[in-house]
């Protein structure tokens, strides 16, 4: 059966996945598992054109150990937050094409991100500026995928941003996400030198570790990225930021 435009009307929601070997897998949403989505490649490629308002690109994610595509600065912010979240174990961008009969016609949708957590729960994410959410057409386009995701047992989120101070801090700490940029054992040595009540400046300036001061400071920031040390990231991160051990 097809609709008026000649598109096949699915009897139930259908997901199409693109796999790393170039093949395409299509199956009912009810049969799709989170691990299958995490193993797929992006459904569509990032597009760049002169004069476009969005800024797509690729972000190297420590969570995935690979580059993840994003299509806007707002998507990049959500991607950074996901990469910083220790509960997230897998990130897929543009994860699949969802087709379903909704609101009286066949609809198609490619979500922005699919996140898998350590407890094996999945979160489907669409990123949209808050200014766009008041548009009824946009709201309808985001409602039906969320309804189907929740019915399937996945969580669903429409993300429009977060505390700008927190995002700025995470963006800064992301510069220290690549573990191979530090000498082996340095982060562990700095963590061992941590004392309750230390500020960022105090720990970064601690002497006797046998490493240059700049490397020690980088290790402190790496420990914050790893969340082995924590501080209040809803306040501007600076030398006076008070640190705590994550297990303390």
DSSP secondary structure string, 173-236? Answer: HGGG--GGGS-TTHHHHHHHH--TT-BHHHHHT--SSSS-HHHHHHHHHHHHHHTSEE--TTS-
pLDDT tens, residue by residue, 128-156: 999 999 999 999 999 999 999 999 999 99
State what percent of residues in the chain have pLDDT above 70: 92
Q: What is the mean pLDDT of residues 183-211?
A: 94
What pLDDT does residue 72 have?
A: 93
Rounded Cα–Cα distance for residues 177 and 145 (Å)? 32
Domains of the chain: which residue ranges? 14-44+88-159, 164-245
Compute the 3-state secondary structure of the chain and give helix, strand, coil in percent, each to the nearest 5: 35, 25, 40
- Residue 174 in contact with residue 83, Cβ under 8 Å? yes
pTM of the model: 0.91
Query: Structure tokens of 202?
Result: 């105090």
H or E element that contains 14: strand 14-18
| CA-closest candidate to residue 60, choices 166, 157, 179 | 179
């Amino acid at each position: 059966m097809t609709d008026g435009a000649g598109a096949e009307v699915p009897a139930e929601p259908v997901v199409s996945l693109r796999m790393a070997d170039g093949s395409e897998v299509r199956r009912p949403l009810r049969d799709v598992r989170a691990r299958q989505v995490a193993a797929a490649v992006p459904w569509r490629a990032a597009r760049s054109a002169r004069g476009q308002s969005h800024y797509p690109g690729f972000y190297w994610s420590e969570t995935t150990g690979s580059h993840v595509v994003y299509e806007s600065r707002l998507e990049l912010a959500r991607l950074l937050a996901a990469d910083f979240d220790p509960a997230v174990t897998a990130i897929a961008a543009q994860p699949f094409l969802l087709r379903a009969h909704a609101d009286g016609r066949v609809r198609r949708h490619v979500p922005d991100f699919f996140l898998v957590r350590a407890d094996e729960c999945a979160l489907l994410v669409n990123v949209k500026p808050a200014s766009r959410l008041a548009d009824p057409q946009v709201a309808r386009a985001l409602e039906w995928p969320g309804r189907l995701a929740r019915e399937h047992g996945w969580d669903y989120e429409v993300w429009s941003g977060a505390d700008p101070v927190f995002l700025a801090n995470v963006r800064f700490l992301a510069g220290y996400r690549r573990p191979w940029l530090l000498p082996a054992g340095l982060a562990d040595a700095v963590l061992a030198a941590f004392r309750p009540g230390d500020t960022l400046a105090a720990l970064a300036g601690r002497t006797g570790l046998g490493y240059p001061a700049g490397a020690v400071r980088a290790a402190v920031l790496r420990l914050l990225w790893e969340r082995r040390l924590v501080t209040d990231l809803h306040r501007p991160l600076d030398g006076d930021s008070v640190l705590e051990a994550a297990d303390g």
